[in-house]
Structure formats: structure tokens, C-alpha cells
Amino acid sequence: MENSSQESHLRSANSVTYDSSYPIYAMAFSSFNSSLTNRCRRLAVGSFIEEFNNRVDILSFDEDTLTLKPVPNLSFEHPYPPTKLMFHPNPSASLKTNDILASSGDYLRLWDVTDTSIEPLFTLSNNKTSEYCAPLTSFDWNEVEPRRIGTSSIDTTCTIWDVEKGVVETQLIAHDKEVYDIAWGEAGVFASVSADGSVRIFDLRDKEHSTIIYESPKPDTPLLRLAWNKQDLRYMATILMDSNKIVILDIRSPAMPVAELDRHQASVNAIAWAPQSCRHICSAGDDGQALIWELPTVAGPNGIDPMSVYSAGAEINQIQWSAAHRDWIAIAFSNKLQLLKV
């Protein structure tokens, strides 16, 4: 971990930038090990163009030469901007011979990624009655049970897919308003956040009930993003619309946050827990800053200061901190993807 006194060093020697020809929003790291890409790692980036025709590019990151460039033939057209991209969380354990990428937008789509081509595998829709579909705001791929992907939608539902069979396992009316994000905790337990201002936990063994563990202090203030701490499942983080705070929750003590991180100067847009530590989280926002925080065992009366500050110089829309590449944080701002060494 770098500290804030090394901010300028972090900016020059320890960052790699990719300039796209379009604004970037969705992005994902791959954990797939390919014979051709054993030294290079893949990332997927999605365009954010406010029209039907968008695209996804696969980039190759060489950590030795610190180069980040698109892979020939590994890009494809995507209907509407992808709201999220994720690679298969554990392809080797699932005996996958190719990498698999999932994307959300109008539907949930799965793509087969080889070293030389990308082919569509599934387009998954649970809409039986109408030609129109409710857009998907986000999804999460279950690391413990990789056949499961959960999606969240503006139609108030969360849908659990068995992506190996291409069928719906279950669909739940999760909230009173649009659902903006979803995160798995265990094989059969997920949580979601919504425009109704609540964080709710669902257990697939008891689909009739959910547990509300947090509600916005101001009624009907939407919660936009949810991150579940994979290193310590007692902890979650969420962000409120138009707020500079990251709210840290302990599911053992609902309603009262264990910490509120409020050092951003503008709205927070994205949060990601460290994949290798239960006490570190990264946030990014409209102030153009990516902050790394170390959560103390007990918060002091004056709040918590970030341990590391990175200034991008433009509003940061997205961050990813991957278990496959735990030394690098990816941020997206404007038409740039930047990898930061931590």
C-alpha cells in the first residue's frame, strides 16, 4: 500500500494509462490463465455512448513492460452501454477451456473469449410477455457457486440465473423501487440496494423474507452501489446518491453504520474492497480522486482520513480491484482507463 506522501510518485512511475476513442464506464479484470497470455493479463472495457451502438474491447496488460493495449480481433459491438462487465470468477476450478465474459444492459449476455476471437454464448431474458425488457442496472457473479449470476433491474426485481443451463433459478421482487446493485455474500445469500434507500439481504433458502440492514437517513434517498467484503462477510459498503460519504455496515448490527468515510469533496461514484485485506477499501468520485482507506478497529471522534490519495484530474466513474491482480487498481475517467500500483 502506498501512503499519501507518495502521491506524486504513484502518479508517474506506478500508473499505466489506456486512451480509448470513446468514454469508458464498465470494466473488468480477467483471472484466466492462457498459454498465449501467461505474462499478459486481460481487461475488458465498455463504452458509454448514449445510443444503441456501443462496444467492448479486450485489452492486454503486460506488467513487465507496463503496456496496456487492445488485442486484435477481441472487440465486439454491444447493444447500449454495458452497465457492468465481469469475467468468470474461477475459470480454472470450473474446468473452463476459454475465458467467459458477462455483460449487462438490456439483457444479461455471456461471451466466449478465446485468444483470437469472441463469440456470443447466451442472451438471457426473463421477459416472457413483452418485446420490451426492463434494463439491468448491475449483476454479480457468484464466486462460491459460479453457475449463479444475480442481476438487478429497474423493474424492482433481482433475478438469479443458472448460467450453465441458461435458465432462471428464481426471480424476486426485491425492493419497492428500482434496484441499482446486487452483491453475493455466500453461495445462496445476496444483498441489493435500491432507489427506495434500503440495503436488503436475501437467502435463497427462504425466498419469502429479506432482512433490511440499512436505510438512508433521508427517506427515499437512493443507494447506488453495494460492495460486500469478501475477506470478512460481516462488512458491506454502500454509497448514497449525490453524497460524498461511503457508509460501512456491519450486518450484525443493522441500522447503525460502523463508519462513514466523508473525505471526498464531491459525490462518490464507485467503491471496491481490497481483495487481499479485510480492512482496506478504495473509493472514487466526482472530485477526481481515488482514495484508499484503512478501517480502524475503533473509529475516532474526528472521523477517518484516507491512507492514500490519487488525483486523476477528472471525474472518476468506476473502479475495480481484482483478486487476480491485487497489486493494481483500475479507474475509469473520461475516455481513459488507468491502472494504479498499490
Length of the chain: 342
Q: List the one residue out of 322, 311, 264, 317 whose CA is nearest residue 11.
A: 311
Is the per-residue pLDDT at 2 higher than 60?
Answer: no
φ, ψ (nearest 5 deg) of residue 159: -120, 130
Q: Strand, helix or coil at 325?
A: helix
Is the per-residue pLDDT at 320 higher than 70?
Answer: yes
pLDDT of residue 95: 67
pLDDT of residue 98: 87
Tell me the pTM: 0.93
pLDDT of residue 9: 34
**Long-range interactions of 169-176: CB distance < 8 A, separation 24+:** 169/204, 170/204, 170/207, 171/126, 172/202, 172/207, 174/200, 174/202, 174/210, 175/200
Is the per-residue pLDDT at 312 higher than 60?
Answer: yes
pLDDT of residue 39: 57
> Please, what is the end-to-end C-alpha distance for the chain in angstroms?
5
pLDDT of residue 128: 65
Band of the pLDDT at 34, cuts 50, 70, 90? low
- 69-77 mean pLDDT: 94
- 30-35 mean pLDDT: 73
Band of the pLDDT at 1, cuts 50, 70, 90? very low
pLDDT of residue 10: 47
Rounded to whole angstroms, how far apart are CA atoms 287 and 224? 17
- pLDDT tens digits, residue range 171-216? 999 999 999 999 999 999 999 999 999 999 999 999 889 999 999 9
pLDDT of residue 4: 39
Residue type for 181, please? D
Is the per-residue pLDDT at 21 higher than 60?
Answer: yes
- 253-259 mean pLDDT: 89
Rounded to whole angstroms, how far apart are CA atoms 48 and 62? 25
Average pLDDT, the chain: 91
- 234-245 mean pLDDT: 97
Buried b / exposed e across 173-185, counting CB within 10 Å, b at 16+? ebbeebbbbbbbb
- Higher-pLDDT residue of 301, 48: 48
To the nearest whole percent, how much of the chain has pLDDT over 70? 92
Rounded to whole angstroms, how far apart are CA atoms 319 and 199? 21
Band of the pLDDT at 308, cuts 50, 70, 90? very high
